[in-house]
Amino acid sequence: MKHMKRSFYLVPVLGLLLACSGSKQPSETSSEVVQEQIEAIETSVQQLDETIQSLDKEMEQTQSEIDSLLNNL
């Protein structure tokens, strides 16, 4: 499931970057730029994944607190 989320973010962003980088640069330079962009995207996806994991844990804790409060009623 987490890989699907990562792919969900990575594919559109990568597609946009490649579509918008239509400048007439030599292939070596454009390959280097694309590689840098891919690395930046991978870093962003990793940060998003960490944030999602953190939010999942926070939601589980909050749900647990809500359940315990409801059990005490």
Q: One digit per residue, pLDDT tens: the chain, 73 residues?
A: 555 566 666 677 777 777 766 655 555 677 888 889 999 999 999 999 999 999 999 999 999 999 999 998 7
pLDDT reported for residue 2: 58
How is 20-60 classified by DSSP, letter by letter? H------HHHHHHHHHHHHHHHHHHHHHHHHHHHHHHHHHH
